[in-house]
Amino acid sequence: MKKLFLTAAFLGLGVFGFAQTAPGRKADFEQKKAERLQKMKQELNLSDAQVAQIKALHEQKAAERKQEMVAKKEDRMKMMKDNEAEMQKILTPDQYKKFQELKAKKMAERREHLKNKKAVQTAVVK
């Protein structure tokens, strides 16, 4: 019984410890990025000009990745619209209406699930 209690206590402390790092993730990421760049500067004996060029390269690549993500999202949206059009051709108007209702219900359930999941995560952080 004592071991079970101690195990639960350590797990609880571990969860709270990890949860505390979540809110400032963007700031932490920027700080780590700057630290890695500084470490690279020291290890490779880079000049300030080289560091600036590397930083610009990283920012350029990040922007390219962001554009790719937007393009992929647009492709997914187009595929979804095409699928909807095909479903509308196949189904009768009543079936299509019911299909839309079922889809909306599933979407609402997913949103509720994510909302509950987020509420649990923020409760753990506090």
Q: Is 25 exposed, middle or buried (0-12, 13-18, 19+ CB in 10 A)?
A: exposed
**What is the reported pLDDT for 84?**
93
Report pTM. 0.53
At residue 90, the 3 state secondary structure works out as: helix
Mean pLDDT of 12-39: 72
Please give the pLDDT value at position 123.
73
Identify the band that residue 99 occupies on the pLDDT scale cut at 50, 70 and 90. Answer: very high
State the Cα torsion 46-47-52-58 to the nearest 10°: -10
Minimal CA–CA distance to 111: which of 101, 119, 123?
A: 119
Residue tagged 């610009």 (tokens): 56
pLDDT at residue 22, as a whole number: 53
